[in-house]
């Protein structure tokens, strides 16, 4: 999946999202604003999602391939430290 800095990384969740992601590192408030606007603009697809976004934190992400029930799929793994093949992301937990 190719995203640019400041874009939301859209993921498919089986049981609803545990976290939401923005590509790149930035101020947490700016990342949260991007997420709120993204999910608030598409209320039909993401009802009530914008009000459940926690404050994002700086992480590092890496795409990995896994075999799921429907065949191969990409999985976003997140880490606290930078490393080979990892890229900057802001991760916000979904809060109730």
Q: Is pLDDT of 92 > 80?
A: yes
- Pairwise CA distance, residues 74 & 3, whole Å: 14
Domain segments of the chain as ranges: 16-90
Give the 3-state secondary structure of residue 89: strand
pLDDT in tens, 12-27: 877 777 899 999 999 9
- pTM, 2 dp: 0.82
């Amino acid at each position: 999946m190719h995203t640019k800095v400041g874009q939301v990384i859209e993921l498919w969740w089986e049981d609803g999202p545990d976290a939401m992601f923005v590509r790149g590192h930035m101020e947490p408030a700016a990342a949260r604003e991007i997420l709120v606007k993204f999910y608030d603009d598409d209320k039909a697809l993401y009802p009530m999602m914008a009000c459940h976004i926690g404050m994002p934190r700086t992480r590092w992400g890496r795409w990995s391939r896994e075999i799921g029930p429907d065949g191969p799929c990409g999985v976003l793994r997140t880490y606290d430290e930078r490393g080979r093949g990892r890229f900057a992301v802001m991760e916000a937990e979904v809060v109730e």
